[in-house]
């Protein structure tokens, strides 16, 4: 069986590095994806447990993002976490409008990532 994986759609190298380190500490596979156009597949593989999306990603196609996260449903679907800086209320509001996933600030992601990944590793 494949390891549980984290897909992180972001281009901010510091955030990607922090999330990658946390994933590795919990023996989770980590895939950094710098844009939606560079997704490894059009749908999420079954072993993807978490999808993190930076809502401030330059050129983020919200329609494509909605299609991607809208395609996952059910008890075994991955956790979708959409985030942006707390001062970017427009990006956070767009995340809420998508109607799927948890919308958080970057600070919340930093504070919660170890707990979240720890729960996946069990």
pLDDT at 1: 43
pLDDT at 96: 93
Q: Are 26 and 121 in contact, with CB atoms under 8 Å apart? A: yes
According to DSSP, the residues that pair with 7 across neighbouring strands are 31, 51
Taking the model in full, what pTM does it have? 0.89
Q: What domains are defined for the chain?
A: 5-121 (3.40.50.2300)
Q: Are 44 and 71 in contact, with CB atoms under 8 Å apart? A: yes
Distance CA 119, CA 70 (A): 24
pLDDT at 70: 73
pLDDT tens, residue order, the chain (122 aa): 456 999 999 999 999 999 999 999 999 999 999 988 888 766 777 888 999 999 999 999 888 888 877 766 555 678 899 999 999 999 999 999 887 789 999 999 999 999 999 988 66
């Amino acid at each position: 069986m494949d390891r549980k994986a984290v897909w992180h759609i972001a281009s901010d190298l510091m955030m990607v590095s922090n999330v990658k380190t946390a994933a590795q500490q919990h023996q989770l596979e980590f895939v950094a994806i710098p844009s939606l156009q560079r997704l490894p597949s059009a749908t999420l593989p079954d072993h993807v447990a978490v999808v993190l999306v930076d809502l401030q990603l330059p050129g983020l196609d919200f329609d494509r993002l909605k299609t991607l996260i809208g395609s996952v449903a059910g008890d075994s679907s991955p956790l979708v976490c959409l985030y942006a800086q707390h001062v970017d209320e427009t990006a956070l509001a767009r995340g809420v409008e998508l109607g799927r996933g948890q919308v958080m600030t970057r600070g919340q992601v930093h504070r919660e990532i170890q707990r979240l990944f720890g729960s996946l590793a069990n």
